[in-house]
Amino acid sequence: MIRFFKLIWSGALAALIASVVCAAAAEAPPVVAKIKAHPAIWTVHSPNATAYLFGSVHLLPPNIDWHTRVVDAALKSSDVFVFEAPMGADGQAQTEAFVRANGMLPPNRALPSLLDTRARKDYRDALGAAHADPSALAHLRPWLAAIVMQTSALQASHYSRTGGVDLQLWDYATAQHKKIETFETIEEQLSLLMPKDEKLEKEEFEAALKQLKTTSGDVGALVDAWCDGRISDVARLMNKGLLSSPGAMKHLIEDRNARWVKRLDLMLAEPHTYFVTVGAGHLGGPRGLPTLLKAHGYKIEMSATAG
């Protein structure tokens, strides 16, 4: 199962970790023409609280304007902002520490030396497709090199971390002095990206090299669906790479949603208005957060944010 690419979209820190590692993930130049998006938003009602659920695409072209009257009204009314994991300067510092501890090969080993002849060819091809600097990748572990290469490829196509929803909302909440909470720690989220078995790590890296040349169409379709508020299409495209591996789908999406719903239960007992931002792949489908919250007895309303 190829999980790296999808985690760039369902894990906000994949873009951050790439920017921490090397210049290969430098931000893309802005695209001038603006595109007006109308993504979906859910409103959750409890006797004591209200929560808005907003699905993020973590890397977006900087010309996409997703602010609408509905979104901006929800932002203004919310006093607590909830994210998957810490971002900002603190998140970057913790990410750097995780990379130092878990992302580097021993000094006497280089990434290409782990690959056989066929995989080395795929690696060279993937470097070209990703516009990545081989010297910046040479001493990274395969799991980390895959993230950097895939993020670099997206940024070369004008998909930017600064254009992504999470970072913009984190910056907004910080500037407005709002209370911020997170579902996971940096270590918990980044550990999801790192296979514990070296053989599996190498296999997934080699699969990611092949996938780098074939995924651009999925990205464009995903962003179009998100901009149009087509929830079922967003969920299908975001989780496409996980459907063939039920174990990974359970580990990366379903189990985390179940844990997050327990946290939301506690939050919704408090007299606050929450703006909850998570990867859009966590919101659609029968095990998405809105469906799980509805099963817990909450009233849920969903709308595309036109206007």
Residue in 98, 82, 83, 87 with CA at minimum distance from that of residue 16: 87
What digits encode the pLDDT tens for the residues 68-107?
999 999 999 999 999 999 988 888 888 889 999 999 999 9
Q: Write the single-letter amino acid at 27.
A: E
Q: What is the CA 283 to chain-centroid distance, rounded? A: 13
Assign 221 a pLDDT band (cuts: 50, 70, 90): confident
Average the pLDDT over 44-62 and give the result. 92
Residue in 153, 117, 111 with CA at minimum distance from that of residue 132: 153
The answer, yes or no, to whether residue 140 has pLDDT greater than 50, is yes
Average the pLDDT over 107-133 and give the result. 93
What digits encode the pLDDT tens for the residues 146-204?
888 888 888 788 887 777 899 899 999 999 999 999 999 999 988 888 888 899 899 88
What digits encode the pLDDT tens for the residues 251-307?
888 999 999 999 999 999 999 999 999 988 899 888 899 999 999 999 999 976 544
- The per-residue pLDDT for 4 is 44
Domain boundaries, the chain: 4-24+36-304
Q: Which residue has the higher pLDDT, 230 or 156?
A: 230
- The per-residue pLDDT for 154 is 81
- The per-residue pLDDT for 12 is 56
Average the pLDDT over 24-33 and give the result. 53
Q: What is this structure's pTM?
A: 0.89
The answer, yes or no, to whether residue 46 has pLDDT greater than 70, is yes
Residue carrying structure tokens 């009602």: 45
First to last CA, the chain: 40
Assign 245 a pLDDT band (cuts: 50, 70, 90): low
The answer, yes or no, to whether residue 209 has pLDDT greater than 80, is yes
The sign of the torsion formed by the CA atoms of 156, 87, 165, 301 equals positive
- The per-residue pLDDT for 217 is 57
Helix (H), strand (E), coil (C) string for the chain? CCCHHHHHHHCCHHHHHHHHHCHHHCCCCCCCCCEECCCEEEEEECCCCEEEEEEECCCECCCEECCCHHHHHHHHHCCEEEECCCCHHHHHHHHHHHHHHHCECCCCCCHHHHCCHHHHHHHHHHHHHHCCCHHHHCCECHHHHHHHHHHHHHHHCCCECCCCHHHHHHHHHHHCCCEEEECCCHHHHHHCCCCCCHHHHHHHHHHHHHHCCCCHHHHHHHHHHHHHCCHHHHHHHHCHHHCCCHHHHHHHHHHHHHHHHHHHHHHCCCCCEEEEEEEHHHCCCCCCHHHHHHHCCCEEEEEECCC
- The per-residue pLDDT for 298 is 97
User: Cα separations (Å) of 188 from 11, 15, 39, 184, 191?
Assistant: 11, 16, 28, 6, 5
- The per-residue pLDDT for 243 is 58
The answer, yes or no, to whether residue 23 has pLDDT greater than 70, is no
